[in-house]
Structure 1
Amino acid sequence: MAQWIFSLLFGTTVLWTMLIPHSSFPTGAPASACENMLPGHTGIQPQQTLAPFEFLVSSPSFLNGQPINIQIVGPAYRGLLLEARSFRSTTALGFWKSPPNNTKYLQCSGNPHGAVTHSNTNLKTRQTTYTWLPPNSGCPPVVTFMATVALSHEIYWTNIRSKVIWKNPKATCGAEMPTRKLPAAALLSLLLILFEYI
């Protein structure tokens, strides 16, 4: 009798698992996805085909204090992880303004507003607008927007990139190295040393 009850419970659990659609993170990407942009869907790899999405970015350059609007153009999607990054960096730059409906902030790179992710599996469309603000200091020369976009738990693309946007020459958030003036005595010593080797 006990074995029959166990078999019935096990069979019901397996059937229930197969019939109910499941998602690893239906309420947003985990913080562990911030660097590699992988959503952590166990056993499911990203699509290898060209992503059917592209970015619509409101400006070709950025200026600290000026918002940039981003839309993801393509089929309606359910899952998202969106960040701004500099070239060859995994650090989330700047911060996102109030996330639109069905999305929320994700803390990345120690920044509570460093990324945006989905808050549920409701459909998001190209009308969904994300607003980004550049950092107030440490701006790199160029920024690109990166996303992982999921149509479903099983179908997603990662590392989708926007075109590069440039730092506006009027921006005051640059990452320029401070210049140091060499004292006259040190400069004279350096010149004397150089003349000895000529």
Structure 2
Amino acid sequence: MMFKYICIALALALGSEAYPWGAPTSACKDMIPRHNAEPQEMPAPYVVTTSSKVVKAGEQIQVTVSGMSPSDTVKGLMMQARAGEKPVGTFNIEDSNLDTVTHKRHDAKEDKQSITLTWTAPEDFDDVVKFRATIVLTVSKFWVGVESAAVKVTP
């Protein structure tokens, strides 16, 4: 349910031509940015890692997206924790809890080679999740479906 609210909030905040507050709601399910370009087919020069391979329901772990070289910066990011195809848990960003994280428009000087986020596992949850990311290097060069190793959430 929270996923729908986040997507609706993103839609209301977006302009018609640009996405200064992050990805459009149409990107929430397929995680494909609407850049009028196709995702890269070659392997991504990024990795998604977690601070732990096991987390208790209701507890937090760190999720990091890192470029493999200094030139592999993150201009844009969209990330979800998924159990199968369903987004689960929340990311803690600026006193908000969101099931999908996206970026705001920013100056290139603010691009980073590594970004770490805090994720909270859902309460009363017993399953495996993977963190799935869309990572943008340039408007026309981005990768969809970059995944972490599996993380077990225990009750």
The TM-score by the shorter chain falls in which range?
0.7 to 0.9
Q: Name the structure 1 match of 2:40.
A: 47
Which residue pairs with 1:70 in the alignment?
Answer: 63
2:90 to 75, 81, 95: 95
Structure 2 Cα separation of the partners of residues 140 and 66 of structure 1: 13
3-state DSSP of counterpart to 1:34? helix
Relative to 1, partners in 2 of residues 1:26 and 1:155: Cα closer, same or farther, differing over 3 Å? farther
2:112 paired with 1:124 = yes
The unaligned stretches of length 5 or more in structure 2 are 1-16
Name the counterpart of 1:183: none
The alpha-carbon deviation at position 77 of structure 1 amounts to 1.1
Question: Is this contact kept in 2: 1:24–1:40, CA < 8 A?
Answer: no
Give the greater-gyration-radius structure (CA): 1
Percent identical pairs in the alignment equals 30
Residue 14 of structure 2: aligned partner: none
Amino acid of the structure 1 residue aligned with 2:141 = I
> Aligned pairs, how many?
132
| RCO comparison, higher one (Cα < 8 Å, 6+) | 2
- Structure-to-structure mapping, 1:1-198, within 5 angstroms: 24-42=18-36, 44-74=37-67, 75-87=72-84, 89=85, 91-99=86-94, 113-121=98-106, 122-126=110-114, 128-137=115-124, 139-168=125-154, 171=155
* Structure 1 gaps, min length 5: 1-22, 106-111, 172-198
In terms of fraction of residues, the more helix-rich structure is 1
The TM-score with structure 2 as length reference comes to: 0.77
In 2, Cα distance between the equivalents of 1:68 and 1:157?
24
* Superposition RMSD in Å: 2.0
TM-score (norm 1): 0.61
The match for 1:191 is: none
Q: Amino acid of the residue matched to residue 115 of structure 1?
A: T
Write out the 4+ residue segments of structure 1 that deviate beyond 6 Å after TM superposition. Answer: none
